[in-house]
Amino acid sequence: MDASVFVPFAVVRLRGDGDSAEAALRVELRGLLDFDDQVRTIRIIWSGNSIPTTRPAVSDRVITEWAACGIACVLVVAYTSLRLLSVAAYGDRFDYWLGDGQKDYGLEISGTVAGDLELRHRVKVNQLLANPYGIDGYVAVVAFGMRTAIFSFHRSQEPPE
């Protein structure tokens, strides 16, 4: 699945009012299979032709959500061996299907410019765990104003928070 459509939105949110060509993002890893819980910093660099020359023709909320999708794609590549398979259907309780050719997972994503990232994370974990398939999955939430993300793995049998 081609996730490059999210790049301009991520650039808009990461640049803010500046003119930089890179941003550092603090990432809290939680419960990932190949990583202990830890905090890492990733540096995201973009080229000049990734910078939109005009404001995207969507609402601020959509810019933020699609920017979060772009960041989530980076996190999936950086911290798992999975790939984006497809967009989830309405009612799946997550946004995208991930897979490794052997097993499928859900991916729930959310973004905010300002707000309580922990609360948003808990809400999104509960949403993911309520999926009708009983599958495991990942949650990626991004607070662009704080330049912080939480990327976490959850087993379907874990009780909702």
Domain ranges, ordered by start, for the chain: 4-154
Q: What percent of the chain has pLDDT over 70?
A: 97
pTM for the structure as a whole: 0.93
Question: Which of these ranges, 17-21, 90-94, 144-148, has the smallest mean pLDDT?
Answer: 17-21
Look at residue 91 and tell me whether its pLDDT is greater than 90: yes
Pairing verdict, β 148-154 and 22-30: parallel
User: What tokens were used for 86?
Assistant: 């497809």
Look at residue 19 and tell me whether its pLDDT is greater than 90: no
Q: What percent of the chain has pLDDT over 90?
A: 80
